[in-house]
Amino acid sequence: MEELMGIGMSSAQQALLSGCSAGGLASVLHCDNFRALFPSQTIVKCLADAGLFLDYVDVSGLHGLRSFYDGVVTLQGVAQNLPERCTSRMNATLCFFPENTVNGIETPMFLLNAAYDTWQIQYSLAPASAIQDGPWKFCRLNYSKCDSSQIEFLQGFRKNMTTVAESFYQSKATNGLFINSCFTHGQSVLPDTWYGNNSPSIENKGIAQSVGDWYFNRSEVKLIDCPYPCDTTCHNLVT
């Protein structure tokens, strides 16, 4: 950032920090620090795509992603870089989860996420280490192979995500939200999902239009999809 600021970015009139997946998580964690690099008159906002990783109990009853994040936080020594407003009330590993930090972000933020995030399904909710040859073996890779009880479990995950998203949106009037009920991970990086004619949409509004309306203050954007299987505009990922 020092190099970019030194070659002209410091005089930008507008700046957007965005990222997808781990980059989306980074956008959440570093949004206010990014804002602090610019003069007060610069319009600065942040976009997190597929970065709303949740501390949710997996199919074996464990917090698998929490254990993984604990290793990351410890190995990289990131506790000192996490928001003090969070680390003052809970341990650093929990503060690595956006659900525990995103409401305190002062800079305008937009959350773009699939409610049935396929990365989280495959590596957090039903990781290979937890299922072996059990009933989740095929469901975790292809939602059409899930039975009713498995879909119910995934609906619980969606409900948790939408609750976090609602709280985030209510925390600051300048925040934006697009949570669709698709089985995918990352929707801002590919032209088809970002701005294609058949881009995923909620209430007939596509992703790029939604982010644009929020970024340019054309309208408030708070879009939360109905539960699966109602959305026919999804670009679902299955293997």
Q: Where are the domains of the chain?
A: 13-62+106-224
Task: Detail the DSSP E strand segments found in the chain.
Answer: 14-20, 43-49, 109-114, 176-180, 201-202, 205-206, 222-224
Number of residues that make up the chain? 239
- pLDDT attached to residue 208: 98
Residues 215, 207 contacting (CB under 8 angstroms): no
- Helix, coil or strand: residue 116: coil
This prediction has a pTM of 0.95
* Sheet hosting strand 14-20, strand order edge to edge: 14-20, 43-49, 109-114, 176-180, 222-224
Residues 103, 110 contacting (CB under 8 angstroms): no
Positions annotated as catalytic residues are: 21, 117, 185
- pLDDT attached to residue 2: 86
Per-residue pLDDT of the chain (239 residues; tens, 9 = 90+): 889 889 999 999 999 999 999 999 999 999 999 999 999 999 999 999 999 999 999 999 999 999 999 999 999 999 999 999 999 999 999 999 999 999 999 999 999 999 999 999 999 999 987 777 689 999 999 999 999 999 999 999 999 999 999 999 999 999 999 999 999 999 999 999 999 999 999 999 999 999 999 999 999 999 999 999 999 999 999 75
